[in-house]
Every structure is written in C-alpha cells, then in structure tokens.
Amino acid sequence: MFNKKKIFSKILLAVLIIALIATNSIIGTKGSTKIFKSTVAEAAEEKVPKYVFYFIGDGLGAAQRQIAEYFLQEKTKDKSAKLLINQLPIAGINTTYSANSLITDSAAAGTALATGHKTNNGMISKLPDGTNVKTLIEAAEEKGMATGIATTTRLTHATPAVFASHNESRSNENEIAVDFLNSNVEFFAGGGARHFLPQGWIDKMPSMNGSKRKDNRNLMREFANRGYKVFYGEEQSNRFRRYSPKGQEKVFAAFTLSHLPYEIDRIHKTSNQVPSLAEITKKGIEVLSKYPNGFFFMIEGGRIDHACHANDAVGAIYDVLAFDDAVKEAYKFYKEHPDETLIVVVGDHETGGMGLGFAKNYYLKLNELLDVKASVGDVLTKKYDGNREAYFKYIAENFGLDNLTEKEKAEIIKAMDLADNKAKYDISEYGPSYYGPVAIATTHIISERANIEWTTFAHSGTSIPMSAVGVGAEKFTGFKDNTEIAKTLANIMGFELSK
C-alpha cells in the first residue's frame, strides 16, 4: 500500500529543488545584484530619445513662473488658464550655487547645465583651473546628431555661449563668436550681430550699423562660406519667416546688434518686428528635423533675467509667456513623436528676489499690471530727459499711472531731483546707474500697487523649479543640483562628458 504522505513530501521536495535551481539561474551567485529582466523591460530602460529640447529660462524662478500664470488668468479672465511649463508631468527643484559663490551668475550656472560641472562666476565651460569641459552640444555633435542654439539675448551672451564655446570670461564675446564659427552647430538664432561684423561696419540696413569687433573679420560672411543660410538685421525677419529648408541645411540668424527686444516691446512694434522665440523655435525644428540622426536643441528665454534685474514685473511676465509659447512649439512636435522626444525645462537661477506679496498684505492685484505697454530696461530708462510734464504724460499713457497718489508722485519727483542734479544715490534703492533713478522709482510704484516686492537688482540664491516630459523625463524628479541635470541628460543620451 502506497504511503501518500511520503509520496507528497518527495514531490514537494522535488518542486522546491527545481524552484531553487531556477531562482539561482535568475539571481546568479551569492552577493550578485543581477536580476532577470524581460527583453521588453530592457528595451524600455535603454530607450534613447532621438529629439531633445533643452529650454533654459534665464532668471526663471518659482515666483516668475507663478506670477506669469496669474497674470495670464487675469488678462484672459480665465481662472483655469495655465502655463504649459507648469503642467508638464515631471517636476523637480534645483540648487544653483557656483564654485565660488552661493549666488551664481549665468556663466557658471550655464556651465553647470551644459557640462555637469561647477565653475567660478564669469567662466564659460571651463573649470576654475582653466580646463575645458565638454558640453552637451559637443557630445551630441560627436554622436552625429544635429544641434541648435536659440536665444532672445545676444548669441554670444553667457547661456548660449557655454554650449558651444570655452573661455575664461563671458565678456570675451568676440572670441566666443569665433568659437561658434568652428562649432559645427547647425542652427543659430538670436541677437548679437555686433560681434560677428567687422569693426566700423556700415550697412545699408539701419538696424545693422555698428560692430563691437576689434578686427576686420566678417564672421557673417565666413558662416555663409561654410554653407550656412545667413539672416541678419530686423529687415530680414520676414525672409527668415518665409525660409523653408529643402534638405539638411544650416542656418545662422542674428536679427539685432545686441539683444532681441523684450517681448512686451516686440509685440507693440509695428514695423520690422523680429521673430518671437516661438517662431524661432518652430523654424529651428523645421531645420533640425531634416537630419536623420535626431537633434539636440537648446532654447533660452534670456530676457526674463534682464527684466527682473530692472525689477520690471510686467516685462518679466511677457517674456515668461513668450518662453512658454516656445515650449508649446516643442510640445506640438513631442505629440507627433511621443516615443522619441524629450523636453526639459529649467531655469539657471532666480533674478531680482521677486516676492509675491509684501508688508502685512494678503493679496496680489494683477489688474494693476494690465495697462503697461513697454519695458523698463529698454524703453522707460530712456524716457526721462528733464521734461517732467512729458514724463508724467508718458507713464500715464503707457504704464497705467494716470492716477498717481501724492506719495507716489513725490517718490518720482525725488528721483527726478537726483537725476537732474546728477547726484549720487543709494544703488540699493535705485539700482545700477544705467537704469536711472526715475525709471526704477516708477517701476517700484507699479510693483507696490500689485503687491509685488523685490529684494535685489542682482540674482538670488533660491532653488528653482524644473519640469519635463517625454523619454527619460522621470529621471529628473526630486531635489537636485543643477549639475545633475546635465549629467542625467548625458546618461539618458549615452553621452560622455568630462570627468
């Protein structure tokens, strides 16, 4: 008679032995961390995006992102209106300090975002000891990808410079321009033509009369000789808009001698209106998507920073909205190529120490900002020439200040007295001399009416938000340093950056 219990025990033991053997074959030897993964899982983990958009908002802190969204809701009367950058599914927060300061400048912050390395303020993709460090754009070129750099600043300004140049000082913009010529980047668009034109340059186009070069090199012509389609000057803006690449073409476009206009000024100009950052981004996509191995495209909203340096709330808001519109162009492309595209949106630092609320007040009055029609930095700083009546009329018509209180008017008159007498003044109150006390007194009145406050005319050391969507986006979550953004991008793309 069979012993059923013994037979069952032997069967159970055999099953356990087989299971143990199978487990060992999966786990491996003792101490090994190797685990079994399906082919599908491995393929998903190793997936590399073919198209990468790297958006950098210069000076784009949390306050700037939020105030622009609140303003959009106020302007459209739609309380559900959102910025796209605030809706991307992956979010994180980044520290921004440089190698020699807890408050970074754009060169050091840009170097961190472009190379994964800290450096001293003012240095362009070099370590503090002067060693060059490889950038993400250079790594992409090595991989055979097409690359692009677009900005609303001069192309040779700190943030775009760190991606395709190496220099001990961000001030050496003429040298940076030459580095660009030798970079092999397929698409350049922004401002800063003055660093690409020979000294003493006189042009038939009024917008292009002038140069900052100290030699006779015409880098525009040299770009053309290397096969680039060259667009320069405000007068060629529509030619750029009409341009459609037929194949694998290269583009160099510089629409202004210095920076592109603030968005608030751009939209109010009726003639020779230069392309918006969104238009530039769209054109960059048209050019770079013709290349078979994909692309890496860095787009900077650079004048958010400039507006905040001038404590210009409305100027900053409009440039954030323009930046968001540029991200929307990339997002349209992402929707067409969701399994091949990565979009990363970061800021390099916060500027101005913008505070949403001050004193004992529990409100923001963004309706106070709706009637502003011009920037502080490029327009208002040039409006006071000693004619007080004309100035008060101008700010009434263009800055919504047609109902100044006695206290507000007294603050502006005090600043006028300082300007008229060329008197020394407290820069902690009125900022650097190139703004002028009258413009700063005026912009502070606008901010105070809206209940916005500023702590500085420089950068602050606060951590800033980032957001992302697409292939590998989930790797950007959490509290990270800015160097980790570049390293994570390199890891996703299989790039080799400098150790």
Are 295 and 407 in a shared domain? Answer: no
Are 443 and 301 in a shared domain? Answer: no
- pLDDT at residue number 322: 98
- pLDDT at residue number 8: 41
Task: Kindly state whether residue 38 falls inside one of the protein's structural domains.
Answer: no
Task: Kindly state whether residue 143 falls inside one of the protein's structural domains.
Answer: yes
User: Catalytic one among 98, 106, 207, 463?
Assistant: 106
Are 136 and 218 in a shared domain? Answer: yes
Binding residue per annotation — 159?
A: yes
- pLDDT at residue number 251: 98
376-408 residues labelled b (16+ CB within 10 A) or e (exposed): bbbbbbebbeeeeeebbebbeebbbbeebeeeb
Phi (first) and psi of residue 292, to 5 degrees: -70, -25
Are 467 and 382 in a shared domain? Answer: no
Which of 313, 332, 320 lies closest to 277, judged by CA? 320
Task: Kindly state whether residue 93 falls inside one of the protein's structural domains.
Answer: yes
Task: Kindly state whether residue 23 falls inside one of the protein's structural domains.
Answer: no
Residue 392, domain extent? 356-453
Rounded Cα–Cα distance for residues 360 and 9 (Å): 78
Walking along the chain (499 residues) 10 residues at a time, the average pLDDT comes out as 41 40 37 37 68 98 98 98 98 98 98 98 98 98 98 98 98 98 98 98 95 98 98 97 98 98 95 94 98 98 98 98 98 98 98 96 96 98 98 98 98 98 93 96 98 98 98 97 98 95
Are 350 and 360 in a shared domain? Answer: no
- pLDDT at residue number 271: 83
Task: Kindly state whether residue 21 falls inside one of the protein's structural domains.
Answer: no
- pLDDT at residue number 43: 41
Binding residue per annotation — 349?
A: yes
**What stretch of H or E contains 301?**
strand 295-301
Are 280 and 427 in a shared domain? Answer: no
Binding residue per annotation — 117?
A: no
Angle separating helix axes 406-420 and 437-450, nearest 10 degrees:
160
Supply angle C-alpha 158, 91, 313, rounded to 5: 55
Task: Kindly state whether residue 415 falls inside one of the protein's structural domains.
Answer: yes
Binding residue per annotation — 179?
A: no
Are 379 and 423 in a shared domain? Answer: yes
Task: Kindly state whether residue 188 falls inside one of the protein's structural domains.
Answer: yes
Phi (first) and psi of residue 248, to 5 degrees: -80, 90
156 Cβ contact partners less than 8 Å away, ≥ 6 residues apart:
173, 174, 176, 177, 180, 192, 195
Are 371 and 468 in a shared domain? Answer: no
Q: Which regions of 84-124 does DSSP assign to beta strands (E)?
A: 90-95
Task: Kindly state whether residue 7 falls inside one of the protein's structural domains.
Answer: no
Binding residue per annotation — 426?
A: no
Are 330 and 408 in a shared domain? Answer: no
pTM of the model: 0.91
Q: How many domains does the chain have?
A: 2
Are 366 and 346 in a shared domain? Answer: no
- Does the active-site annotation cover 106? yes
Binding residue per annotation — 105?
A: no
Are 411 and 473 in a shared domain? Answer: no
